[in-house]
Structure 1
Amino acid sequence: MYVVIVGAGEVGSTIAASLADTHEVAVIDIDGQRVEELMYETDILGVAGDGADLETLEDANVRNADILIASTDDDETNIVTCGTANTVTDVFTISRVKSAKFLRTWQQSSRAFGVDHMVATNLLTAETISRVVGMPAAHDVETFADGTVQMAEFEIPAESPIAGQTVREADRYESLTFAALIRGDDVVIPTGETELRPADDVVVIGSPESVHTFANEISPGVEGVRNVLVVGGSDIGYHTARLLQERGLKPRLIERDHDRARELAEDLPGTTVLESDATDREFLEREHVEDVDIVVSTLDNDEKNLLASLLAKRLGAERAVAVVDSGEYVKLFEAVGVDVAVNPREATAEEITRFTREHQAENVAIIESDRAEVLEIEIDGDSTLADRPIRESVANLPEGVVIGAITRDGELVIPRGDTVIERGDHVVVFVDTDVLEAASSQL
């Protein structure tokens, strides 16, 4: 597949790096030096120029592209780029936008703006936060097979009851698979004797009930979130509160600006909007921040989000989720006490990469910025897994592949060594990115 990416910033560069190993990729950016750097780092074709200009798109051979991804930081430029490409070719176009207003317009009209698929960064970030709030001990949560299967990634705290146990000792769940451990720079495929160490990230796949039970055991007392405080009435803050309302929660939201606070109060009837400064210690104490299960910081810059998160936790809030605009700060935020740092650009890059890969799979989740993937695949006659016991078929797959779950006619089937995978089954598979290409050809 040939993919043209317009925009070599954090989003475009991440997508290019994710796709370059398995597809032909061209990247266009107005910054020639950035294009040269990306060509040096990644096996791509680089084109310096304006991606909204037809001549530049022609230089990138857009007529032969299968997918065009417009991923600059400017919404209008991305939309115009897709429309320009459609004047000369029927390439499938994907546009990144920050504001959901363009998404709403696009959803109301088939192929509006000449865009085939649109990803709204602010809404996507809010959805990511909402999933984490639903399972607050997790760093990442995704669903597969129409909700029958769930994948979650957890960091093992030093005080966790399972820290120091082997996988066999910790595996007390009938419908849960310990798919992998992310240990430093390594992806470890565990056996029964693998020790679960503090600070390991463990990826589990199974029924939603078993994943939630495991979440409660890995961090006792974290489940049962009811009291959520959203800091900042930004677009991300608004969508986060709205999504939490839809789940039956009654969040509180702090917004400093009088006019914006009033607007939010009118638009969010299920949310208590408080007009104040989220870094005002006395105000937070009056609002009993010590009773908050999760504080979500969605202010307009990283420094404010870090300050608000750490202050709330210092005053007694149980956990903190913060939006981090600079990807390089994510690990720093989590190192100094923020429980989950959500980077909108990273979330957007993962969503677009996921969509491009869903041409080969039913659903895709990307783990740890493309260290691994979880794929949902419908089994046909060409698959190595078809009509064979798992023990036999896995022996023919590269090391780094784990069968996490199976659904058959909408029902969960627990994978065991003697389980025979049938044609038409949906299989959820963990795959180390290093063996993704080899595994995909067999799955």
Structure 2
Amino acid sequence: MRVIIVGAGEVGSSIASSLAGTHEVVVVDVDGERVDALTYSEDVLAIQGDGTSISTLREAGIEEADMMIASTDDDETNLVACGTAKTVDDPFTIARVKNVDYLETWQHAADRTAFGVDFMVCTNLLTAQDIVRVIGLPAARDVDPFAGGTVQMAEFGVSADSPLADQTVSEADRFDSLTFAAILRNGDVEIPRGGTRIRADDKVVVIGNPESVQEFAREIAPRETPSSNEDLVIIGGSDIGYHVARLLEERGLSPRLIERDADRARELAEKLPNTVVMESDATDAEFLAREHVDEADAVVAALESDEKNLLVSVLAKQLGARRTVAVVETTEYVSLFETVGVDVGVNPREVTAEEITRFTRELHTENVSLIEDDRAEVIEIEVDDDSILVGRPIRESVADLPEGFVVGAITRDDQFVVPRGDTVVESGDHVVVFVERDALEAVTEQL
């Protein structure tokens, strides 16, 4: 498949890296330095030019393109690029936007082709959804649903005081409908065996039904068990902060939101009937103490700058807040935030790149989740009679596949099936598997 990507920033570069191995990728950007950097780092054709220009798109081969992804940091540029592409030919177009208004307009179009866009990805809404999923599971760093919600993948951090620290996988595997898919340690991905020991500071990827994943979350972080009367504080009435509050309200929760600007606070109070909106400067430690932020189960920092999000997250932690989740606009800062004590840093660009990559992969699979900067993937595939898994016990199939592959879950007629060595996969089953990047192509060809 020939894919044209407009925008060689963090999002575009990440998508290009994910697709370059299996597709013919062309990247367009106005910045010559970005073009040069991408030319040397990835197996793609990089062109300097304006992605909204017909001549540039023709140079990139828009007439032969199957897909065009507009991923610059400017909403209007992305929409115009998609519209321009449709005037030349009819590639499938994907646009990245931040403004939810554009998404709502696109969704309300009868055939969802407004702006010349076939699929739209909204950064702010995706980020809010990611934050809400993470809040719902104690100690979780990432959460993704599969098989229509019947299966859940979650990544957890293991702290030194966690009951799982220093246990073997066999000792920790006490859940009937849960599979230990991987252990992430110092940037490396390890497929765990029964004798593999879980260490403090590891990240553990598990796949199972939602009930087992919740039970595992309570086991790994018993002091962070969520409840229906959670005290959740959102700092910053940005678009992301607003959508986090709205989504929490939809779950029956009543968060508190702190916003400095009086007009914005009034607007949010009108839009969020079940949220207590407070007008104040959240970087004021005395105010945070006065409002008992120390008692919060989770504090979400959604201000407009990384520096302020870091400050309020650290303040909340020092006061005694149980958990902090911060929006981090600069990708390189995510590890810094987590090093100084922020529990989870959510980068909107990474979330967006993953969603677009997931959608492009869904042309061949049902669902995809990227793990550890695309070092591995969790994918859902509906298997047929040609699959190496069908009609055989899983242990036999796995023996014939490359290392770095784990069957995490199976659903059959919308029912969860626990995958064990003697489980026989049937044609039509939905299989959720964990695959390391190096084994991905070989495994997916046989599934």
> Out of 159, 162, 168, which is 1:160 matched to?
162
> Out of 144, 147, 170, which is 1:145 matched to?
147
Distance, in Å, in 1 between the alignment partners of 2:24 and 2:245 is 40
Distance, in Å, in 1 between the alignment partners of 2:285 and 2:51 is 47
Residue 57 of structure 2 aligns with which residue?
Answer: 57
**Secondary structure of the structure 1 residue equivalent to 2:222:** coil
Q: How does 1:248-263 map to 2 (within 5 A)?
A: 248-263=252-267
> Out of 371, 376, 382, which is 1:372 matched to?
376
- Which consecutive residues of structure 1, in runs of 5 or more, have no partner in the other structure? none
CA-atom RMSD, angstroms? 0.8
- Counterpart check, 1:284 vs 2:293: no
Kindly state the Cα deviation for residue 136 of structure 1 after the two structures are TM-superposed.
3.1
Kindly state the Cα deviation for residue 388 of structure 1 after the two structures are TM-superposed.
1.1
Distance, in Å, in 1 between the alignment partners of 2:162 and 2:83 is 52
What is the letter of the counterpart of residue 145 of structure 2? T
Q: How does 1:95-106 map to 2 (within 5 A)?
A: 95-106=95-106
Distance, in Å, in 2 between the alignment partners of 1:19 and 1:198 is 34
Distance, in Å, in 2 between the alignment partners of 1:286 and 1:31 is 48
Residue 427 of structure 2 aligns with which residue?
Answer: 423
**Secondary structure of the structure 2 residue equivalent to 1:27:** strand
Residue 25 of structure 1 aligns with which residue?
Answer: 25
Kindly state the Cα deviation for residue 320 of structure 1 after the two structures are TM-superposed.
0.3
- Counterpart check, 1:239 vs 2:243: yes
- Counterpart check, 1:267 vs 2:271: yes
Residue 85 of structure 1 aligns with which residue?
Answer: 85
What is the letter of the counterpart of residue 191 of structure 2? I
Is the CA contact 1:137–1:223 (under 8 Å) kept in the aligned structure 2?
no
Distance, in Å, in 2 between the alignment partners of 1:196 and 1:136 is 18
Distance, in Å, in 2 between the alignment partners of 1:278 and 1:131 is 24
What is the letter of the counterpart of residue 181 of structure 1? I
> Out of 397, 400, 407, which is 1:403 matched to?
407
Q: Where in structure 1 do 4 or more consecutive aligned residues deviate above 6 Å?
A: none
Residue 361 of structure 1 aligns with which residue?
Answer: 365
Q: How does 1:184-203 map to 2 (within 5 A)?
A: 184-203=186-205
Kindly state the Cα deviation for residue 258 of structure 1 after the two structures are TM-superposed.
0.4
What is the letter of the counterpart of residue 166 of structure 1? T
Distance, in Å, in 2 between the alignment partners of 1:166 and 1:191 is 9
Distance, in Å, in 2 between the alignment partners of 1:344 and 1:335 is 19
- Counterpart check, 1:295 vs 2:318: no
Distance, in Å, in 2 between the alignment partners of 1:136 and 1:191 is 25
Distance, in Å, in 1 between the alignment partners of 2:203 and 2:64 is 41
> Out of 429, 435, 439, which is 1:435 matched to?
439
Is the CA contact 2:138–2:218 (under 8 Å) kept in the aligned structure 1?
no
Is the CA contact 1:322–1:340 (under 8 Å) kept in the aligned structure 2?
yes
Q: How does 1:37-52 map to 2 (within 5 A)?
A: 37-52=37-52
Distance, in Å, in 1 between the alignment partners of 2:126 and 2:442 is 31
Distance, in Å, in 2 between the alignment partners of 1:358 and 1:370 is 16
- Which consecutive residues of structure 2, in runs of 5 or more, have no partner in the other structure? none
Is the CA contact 1:350–1:369 (under 8 Å) kept in the aligned structure 2?
no
What is the letter of the counterpart of residue 221 of structure 2? S
Kindly state the Cα deviation for residue 228 of structure 1 after the two structures are TM-superposed.
0.3
What is the letter of the counterpart of residue 224 of structure 1? P
Residue 132 of structure 2 aligns with which residue?
Answer: 130
Distance, in Å, in 2 between the alignment partners of 1:406 and 1:107 is 32
What is the letter of the counterpart of residue 400 of structure 1? G
Is the CA contact 2:187–2:372 (under 8 Å) kept in the aligned structure 1?
no
Deviations 1:187-228 (A, max 9, x none): 100110001111111100011111111111111111115110
Distance, in Å, in 1 between the alignment partners of 2:99 and 2:376 is 29
Distance, in Å, in 2 between the alignment partners of 1:26 and 1:428 is 31
Deviations 1:128-158 (A, max 9, x none): 0010111131000011111111110011111
**Secondary structure of the structure 2 residue equivalent to 1:85:** helix
Is the CA contact 1:167–1:193 (under 8 Å) kept in the aligned structure 2?
yes
> Out of 385, 388, 403, which is 1:384 matched to?
388
Distance, in Å, in 2 between the alignment partners of 1:287 and 1:184 is 38
What is the letter of the counterpart of residue 337 of structure 1? G
Distance, in Å, in 1 between the alignment partners of 2:345 and 2:423 is 39
Distance, in Å, in 1 between the alignment partners of 2:444 and 2:53 is 36
Distance, in Å, in 2 between the alignment partners of 1:62 and 1:136 is 46
Residue 183 of structure 2 aligns with which residue?
Answer: 181
Distance, in Å, in 2 between the alignment partners of 1:92 and 1:117 is 8
Is the CA contact 1:403–1:430 (under 8 Å) kept in the aligned structure 2?
yes
Distance, in Å, in 2 between the alignment partners of 1:313 and 1:201 is 21
Distance, in Å, in 2 between the alignment partners of 1:414 and 1:159 is 30
Kindly state the Cα deviation for residue 89 of structure 1 after the two structures are TM-superposed.
1.1
Distance, in Å, in 2 between the alignment partners of 1:297 and 1:71 is 25
Residue 211 of structure 1 aligns with which residue?
Answer: 213
Distance, in Å, in 2 between the alignment partners of 1:390 and 1:355 is 28
Kindly state the Cα deviation for residue 185 of structure 1 after the two structures are TM-superposed.
2.4
Kindly state the Cα deviation for residue 410 of structure 1 after the two structures are TM-superposed.
0.8
